[in-house]
Amino acid sequence: MDFVLVGALVLLLFAAIVQLALAMHVRSMLVDCAGQGARYAAQAGHVPLDGVARTTELIDATLSPAYSRDVVARRAVVDGVDQVEVEVTAPLPVLGLVGPTGLTVRGHALVEAP
């Protein structure tokens, strides 16, 4: 009887740790893809829409197209410096890779002068 209770508790704890690791992996991949997209859009001769396309391409290749449905890029001036910001809003994996939309990450890059 004790083995069943302890075994169930250990299994539940293990599943929770695996799910947390999966959520952190998804967040890390989204941050990296947003940063890469921002750096691509910040290059001389590129526009923010190029960053959206690059970010979407990277997310589709690394995770799933379900995570690249809401990608936005914009130019901004922060402390007098031009920047490109790419923002990705994606589902937070709660059960496997499915979950509610609630994870927002951003990537920033300085705009190159032509």
Query: Taking the C-alpha atoms of 62, 30, 35 and 74 in order, what is their torsion angle to the nearest 10 degrees?
Result: 120
- Cα 97 to Cα 80: distance, rounded to the nearest angstrom: 40
What are the Cα distances from residue 84, in Å, to 55, 72, 96?
13, 11, 32
**26: confidence class by pLDDT, cuts 50, 70, 90:** very high
Residue 102 CB-half CA count within 13 A: 7
**3: confidence class by pLDDT, cuts 50, 70, 90:** confident
| Total residues belonging to the chain | 114
pLDDT at 11 over 90: yes
Domain ranges of the chain: 2-110
Q: What pLDDT does residue 110 have?
A: 95
Q: What is the pLDDT of residues 56-112, one digit of tens each?
A: 999 999 999 999 999 999 999 989 899 999 999 999 888 877 778 789 999 999 999
Given phi > 0 = left and psi -120 to 50 = alpha, else beta, which region is 91? beta
